[in-house]
């Protein structure tokens, strides 16, 4: 990304459709004399005005523009001198202004001018008077921007604040708008946590967003792996331009207010009584009126904070080290002097003391770490525990420390500390909690099954109570369920307590509850699995609210529910659940592991729904998280999904890169064949449908042996979509009977319709799939119906089906599949002819094609002859265009760096 070019060019105007519609409506009204674009600094008023001026020009208006500034206001007509024709004598204003109007109107008095004045509230009185005469004479229409909070002179009010000048209010962007702007400006998707940080820092002010991004690009902290943009280091404060803007904003505060602003910058928020210890109440009132601080009342406590996060960042950069230290320690002493008031006081005091001196009282550190752990703020836990002196460490503190390291992907460091904790443990409660965390670290985080079994076996010999032995067996059960086929742990998982409050070890219950959802979904009981996951989430939240600490956030229980909803065909509920869980996890600053799984499962469900570009973004985010935090065992599944999305978009290079990288990691054993889908669709994109079906069939065998019904159904359906419907329709019909939810029965009906090549069945299947939200398969069904109707000579129904397919495919983000090409040629090919044509289009020789399809070379030659006649071509090189494979280039992406 060329930073200089990005800085020099205007950013895309996105998210202003409502405002532009308001402009169009006002401008088309003959009574309108102008529009007033009003809003706070930095929200994009000037960019919107520029677009409005361009639209005025496109509709036949001649255009002018001017920028009012405080400096120009000291010179009468200084800002608009360039619009005054040469030779006009302004010594007599009335006569001179009339000459200006006549000159601008032209010889026939018909020239129409649109004048954009930026920051018109800064315009001098003489200029305003001239503009008012020109507007009233109908010579110009005004497009002006006005900054909220600025004083407006009587002259400007008389010109701009009247009924014939329509106001368009411009506010800060929401997160979705910011994401869309960044995606367009950067040329690719942006990682969710990065988006959250930029949005939180800017609060949707697009000027702030722009300057933060430019600064991050220049420093190298905002980078891309070719798929997704992410912040890899500390977020820069911003460009010098942004810092100047913020400093000017802060300059309205006088010297007595500075200590309050600085303390707010260091502490985030403080009580009103603490602020009054630094400045008189009149000073605080002035800060609030100036819009620099906000005051909030909750119960009997009133707090104060800065109105914008970037104010704090700029202020912190300016506070000398020793002053920072003194202020933090004084604030810690103030809060401690009040005695225990709020639960999080200990966390705040410990954080301030650590920031000031690098150390704090050990008991305070432990108390604060437990508070942060209860809130699942993993990074804060690690910061506090890392500062704990070695002579203050116990089995309990080592568990907290090791747990935080594990959840942040520092697995070997975690095991070293957890092993020490195991030796130090002298109670069964500590033993079980440490065992549970070590098992999770070994298997779920590192994918080291044998090490996990060894920890379980060692704990089995040391557990003394019946409840303790049950905890050990539950840990054994969930690992075995995910690893072994058949699954011996299933009965114990289904017998899990409904409420974690009844379980001896919270961590074990958490993991067993998650695995129970996985188990139900694998058996095809998707609806039941989703219901259990939601129950587990609410039960864990209730347990946390009652005061018990769980090492992982309750939203983690929803991860398998995301998969369950998708496999049941409930894509709306899938999306809603995933977005809610991600928001909770990011707000809590929880472990990145759950967020990575959610992104991966969202990628999977978006592929199933038929949105490969969106799926590609989610898979890219999941891959970025797993690489950053070292969860490499997750990457084979994620990269296969990424390859599938890229292949569906026609980006074979990206698909090949993803599959090549996937081979460098050891996959988790629970995938059950779905990790072959990316390779299959890459083969399909290259025209090799037979090989693609073979790869999928290998996956089907794995899924069936694991009794993973949804995985098997998905793989079988893809075989059908790639030309093997008659081979799989019977098994899919069986799975439809065994599976909960509407998706597998819909897949079975689609496959049966394809096998029969029955237009009515295919159109009914399109209706059913569209109702579920599976738009790509619905488009394929409608297109196949159109091809069958064309072959039967039913032109009008065929055209209607083709139109339906086109409409459905338009929702699928440029997906390219063989079934979407069927029927798009004058004389439809048979399935065998089409498959041979695709291979020949990829320039495979006749002998290669014969070998892959297990037919004779003569058979290939006969079919190709028929293909050439139907397509009206004479050479193999003409096949891609004739088959409709030239659908335009794949989506543009940022250059992919070498790994």
Q: pLDDT (tens digit, 9 = 90+) per residue, 697-737?
A: 999 999 999 899 999 999 999 999 999 999 999 999 999 99
pLDDT at 897: 42
Average pLDDT on 420-446 reads 92
Contact by Cβ (8 Å): 797, 759:
yes
For residue 800, the tally of other CB atoms under 10 A from its CB is 16
Q: Are 593 and 443 in contact (CB under 8 A)?
A: no
Query: Is the same domain home to 82 and 188?
Result: no
At 1 the pLDDT is: 52
Model pLDDT, residue 565: 97
Same domain membership, residue 268 and residue 227: no
Residue 602 in this model has a pLDDT that exceeds 70: yes
Are residues 94 and 184 located together in one domain of the fold?
A: no
Decide if 633 contacts 446 (C-beta within 8 A).
Answer: yes
- Asked, for residue 543, whether it belongs to a domain, the answer is no
What average pLDDT does the segment 819-835 reach? 72
- Whether residue 67 is contained in a domain is answered as yes
Average pLDDT, the chain: 89
Total of domains in the chain: 4
Distances from the Cα of 436 to the Cα of 72, 430, 453, 573, angstroms: 71, 10, 11, 32
pLDDT at 528 over 70: yes
162 and 179 within one domain:
no
Query: Of the candidates 595, 518, 508, which has an alpha carbon nearest to the alpha carbon of residue 563?
Result: 518
Q: Who has greater pLDDT, 557 or 235? A: 557
Per DSSP, what are the bridge partners of residue 296? 303
Query: Which residue is it, tokens 């010109």?
Result: 159
492-505 mean pLDDT: 91
Pair 228, 255 in one domain? no
Could you tell me the two tokens for 379?
């990074």
Please tell me which residue, 849 or 18, carries the higher pLDDT value.
18
Same domain, 111 and 203: no
Residue 191 lies in a domain: yes
Six token digits for residue 666: 């050891």
Place of tokens 């193999």: 876
Cα–Cα distance list, 351 to 334, 339, 371, 553 (Å): 14, 17, 12, 22
147 with 25, same domain: the answer is: yes
Distance from the first to the final alpha carbon of the chain? 18
pLDDT reported for residue 670 = 63
Q: Look at residue 166 and give its three-state secondary structure.
A: strand
Domain match, 203 and 119 both: no
What is the widest separation between alpha-carbon atoms in the chain? 105
Residue 822 included in any domain: no
Instruction: Give the pLDDT score at 889.
Output: 44
- Read off the pTM: 0.84
What are the backbone angles phi and psi of residue 412, rounded to the nearest 5°? -70, -40
| 214 shares a domain with 298 | no
Q: Is the pLDDT of residue 170 over 80?
A: yes
Q: Answer whether residue 539 shows pLDDT above 60.
A: yes
In a domain, 280, yes or no: yes
* pLDDT value for 864: 83
Could you tell me if 140 and 74 lie in one domain? Answer: yes
**What are the residues facing 34 on neighbouring strands?**
142, 165
CB contact set of 664 (below 8 Å; sequence gap of 6+): none
Structural domain boundaries, residue 222: 175-236
Tokens of 123: 């315009």
pLDDT of residue 894: 45
- Structure tokens given for 822: 């069927």
The DSSP 8-state label assigned to residue 408 in this structure reads T
In the predicted structure, residue 899 carries a pLDDT above the cut 60: no
pLDDT at residue 233 is higher than 90: no
Q: 305 has which bridge partners?
A: 269, 294
Residues in the chain: 899
pLDDT band at 518 (very low <50, low <70, confident <90, very high): very high
The sheet carrying 34-39 orders its strands as 62-67, 113-118, 140-147, 34-39, 165-169
CATH number, domain at 874? 1.10.10.10
Same domain for 131 and 196:
no
Instruction: Give a yes or no: residue 588 inside a domain.
Output: no
Separation of CA 418 from chain center: 34
Domain boundary among 319, 340, 364: 319
C-alpha neighbours within 13 Å on the C-beta side of residue 869: 7
Q: Which of 285, 319, 353 is the last residue of a domain?
A: 319
* Whether residue 188 has a cis bond before it, omega within 30° of 0: no
Q: Same structural domain for residues 46 and 147?
A: yes
Pick from 2-6, 205-209, 225-229: least confident = 2-6
Give me the percent of the chain exceeding a pLDDT of 70.
96
* Residue 222: inside a domain: yes
pLDDT tens figures, 661-693: 999 988 776 668 899 999 999 999 988 899 999
Residue after which a domain boundary falls, among 147, 169, 191: 169
Q: Is residue 106 part of a domain?
A: yes
Res 90 pLDDT > 90: no
> Between β-strands 113-118 and 62-67, what pairing exists: parallel, antiparallel or unpaired?
parallel
pLDDT at 489 over 80: no
Ranked by mean pLDDT, which of 90-104, 125-139, 486-500, 688-702 comes out on top?
Answer: 688-702
For helices 321-337 and 345-357, the axis angle rounded to 10 degrees is: 150
């Amino acid at each position: 990304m060329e930073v200089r070019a990005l800085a020099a060019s205007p950013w895309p105007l996105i998210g202003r459709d409502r405002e532009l519609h308001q402009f169009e409506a006002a401008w088309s009204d003959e009574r309108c004399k102008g529009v007033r674009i009003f809003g706070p600094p930095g929200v994009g008023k000037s960019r919107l005005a520029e677009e409005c001026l361009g639209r005025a020009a496109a509709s036949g208006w001649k255009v002018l523009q001017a920028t009012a500034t405080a400096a120009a206001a000291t010179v009468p007509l200084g800002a608009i001198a360039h619009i005054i024709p040469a030779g006009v004598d302004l010594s007599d204003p009335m006569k001179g202004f009339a000459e200006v109007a006549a000159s601008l109107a032209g010889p026939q008095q018909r020239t129409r001018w649109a004048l954009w004045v930026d920051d018109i509230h800064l315009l001098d009185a003489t200029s305003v008077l001239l503009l008012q005469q020109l507007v009233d004479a109908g010579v110009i229409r005004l497009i002006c921007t006005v900054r909220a909070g600025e004083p407006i002179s009587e002259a400007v009010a008389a010109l701009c604040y009247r009924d014939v000048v329509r106001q368009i209010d411009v506010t800060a962007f929401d997160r979705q708008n910011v994401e869309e702007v960044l995606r367009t400006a950067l040329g690719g998707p942006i990682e969710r946590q990065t988006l959250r940080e930029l949005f939180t820092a800017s609060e949707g002010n697009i000027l702030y967003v722009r300057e933060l991004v430019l600064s991050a690009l220049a420093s190298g902290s905002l980078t891309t792996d070719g798929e997704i943009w992410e912040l890899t280091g500390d977020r820069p404060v911003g460009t010098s331009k942004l810092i100047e803007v913020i400093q000017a904003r802060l300059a309205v505060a006088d010297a007595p207010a500075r200590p309050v602003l600085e303390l707010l910058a260091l502490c985030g928020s403080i009580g009103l009584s603490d602020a009054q210890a630094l400045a008189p109440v009149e000073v605080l009132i002035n800060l609030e009126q100036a819009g620099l601080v906000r005051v909030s009342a909750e119960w009997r406590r009133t707090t104060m904070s800065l109105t914008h996060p970037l104010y704090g960042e700029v202020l912190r950069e300016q506070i000398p080290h020793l002053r920072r230290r003194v202020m933090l320690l004084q604030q810690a002493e103030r809060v401690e002097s009040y005695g225990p008031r709020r639960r999080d006081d200990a966390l705040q005091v410990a954080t301030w003391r650590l920031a000031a001196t690098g150390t704090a009282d050990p008991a305070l550190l432990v108390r604060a770490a437990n508070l942060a752990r209860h809130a699942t703020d993993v990074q804060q836990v690690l910061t506090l525990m890392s500062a704990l002196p070695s002579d203050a460490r116990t089995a309990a503190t080592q568990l907290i420390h090791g747990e935080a390291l594990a959840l942040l992907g520092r697995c070997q460091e975690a095991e070293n500390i957890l092993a020490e904790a195991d030796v130090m443990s002298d109670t069964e409660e500590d033993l079980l909690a440490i065992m549970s965390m070590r098992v999770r670290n070994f298997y779920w985080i590192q994918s080291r099954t044998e090490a996990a079994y060894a920890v379980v076996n060692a704990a089995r010999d040391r557990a003394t109570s019946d409840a303790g032995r049950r905890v050990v067996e539950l840990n054994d059960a969930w690992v075995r369920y995910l690893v072994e086929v058949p699954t011996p742990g299933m009965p114990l998982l289904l017998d899990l307590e409904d409420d974690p409050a009844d379980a001896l070890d919270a961590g074990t219950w958490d993991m067993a509850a998650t695995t129970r959802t996985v188990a139900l979904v694998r058996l095809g009981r998707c609806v039941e699995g989703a219901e259990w996951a939601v129950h587990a989430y609410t039960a864990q939240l209730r347990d946390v609210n009652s005061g018990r600490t769980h090492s992982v956030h309750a939203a983690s229980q929803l991860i398998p529910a995301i998969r369950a909803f998708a496999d049941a065909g409930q894509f709306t509920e899938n999306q809603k659940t995933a977005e809610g869980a991600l928001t909770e996890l990011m707000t809590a600053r929880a472990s990145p592991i759950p967020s990575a799984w959610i992104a991966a499962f969202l990628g999977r469900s978006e592929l199933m729904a038929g949105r490969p570009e969106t799926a590609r973004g989610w898979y890219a985010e999941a891959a970025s998280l797993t690489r950053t935090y070292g969860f490499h065992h997750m990457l084979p599944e994620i990269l296969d999904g990424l390859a599938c999305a890229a292949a569906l978009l026609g980006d074979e290079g990206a698909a090949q890169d993803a599959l090549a990288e996937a081979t460098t990691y050891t996959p988790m054993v629970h995938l059950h064949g779905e990790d072959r889908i990316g390779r299959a669709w890459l083969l399909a994109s290259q025209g090799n449908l037979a090989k693609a079906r073979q790869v999928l069939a290998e996956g089907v065998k794995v899924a069936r042996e694991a009794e993973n019904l949804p995985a098997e159904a998905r793989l079988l359906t893809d075989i059908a979509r790639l030309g093997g419907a008659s081979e799989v329709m019977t098994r899919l019909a069986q799975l439809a009977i065994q599976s909960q939810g509407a998706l597998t029965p819909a897949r079975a009906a689609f496959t049966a319709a394809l096998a029969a090549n029955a237009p009515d069945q295919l159109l009914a299947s399109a209706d059913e799939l569209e109702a579920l939200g599976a738009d790509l398969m619905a488009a394929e069904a409608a297109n196949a119906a159109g091809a069958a109707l064309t072959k039967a000579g039913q032109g009008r129904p065929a055209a209607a089906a083709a139109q339906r397919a086109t409409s459905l495919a338009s929702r699928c983000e440029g997906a390219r599949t063989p079934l979407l090409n069927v029927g798009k040629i004058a004389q439809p090919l048979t399935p065998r002819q089409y498959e041979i044509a695709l291979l020949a289009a990829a320039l495979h020789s006749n002998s290669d094609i014969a070998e892959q399809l297990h037919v004779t070379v003569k058979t290939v030659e006969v079919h190709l002859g028929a293909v050439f006649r139907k397509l009206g071509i004479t050479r193999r090189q003409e096949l891609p265009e004739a088959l409709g494979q030239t659908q335009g280039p794949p989506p543009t992406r940022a250059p992919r760096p070498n790994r």
